[in-house]
Amino acid sequence: MSLTYHKCNLKDIDGLVKISKETFIDTFEKDNNPEDFKNYIDNAFSKAQLEKELLNSNCLFYFAYEAHELVGYFKLNVDDAQNEQFETNSVELERIYITKEHQNKHFGKQLLNQIISIVKTMNVSFLWLGVWEENKAAIRFYERHGFNKFGLHPYYIGKDKQTDLLMRLNFI
């Protein structure tokens, strides 16, 4: 089934907090120190933090729906909202998540295709993301869709320093 998309605004804050926490917990809680993880979740996905990001015109959140059911979301960062800056124009895919009960339905591919379609209208050289080096399934997913590794950067879950692989999809 085809997904539909909704660009989030402040009216969506409660749903954004809920899906952000839920999908991140489902994906990573088992692999992290409980105290560090709780602190990270409480800060990164707090209502205040997500409101701040929604108010930043360079942070773009989208909900994905199957029929009228929320099945996932993604976040794009442009210009100075990106977590890394490059010499050429780029867009960062900071988050892409499907709810646990809707995984393995090829929704990730649909979300990624929508993301690529949106980013191509921005006339940038490439789309990039950071993916935890231990998340082998996600790395394979991005590689299957044309992303290539090009660097590393640190990512902190509380005090735990982890390493993200930087991957990019070139448009030019």
142 belongs to the catalytic site: yes
Asked whether the beta carbons of 23 and 99 are under 8 A apart, the reply is yes
| Residue 45 identity (one-letter amino acid) | F
Select which of 5, 40, 97, 142 is catalytic: 142
Q: Cβ contacts of residue 47 below 8 Å, gap of 6+?
A: 13, 14, 17
Asked whether the beta carbons of 46 and 21 are under 8 A apart, the reply is no
Number of Cβ within 10 Å of residue 109's Cβ equals: 12
Q: Which residues carry out catalysis?
A: 142
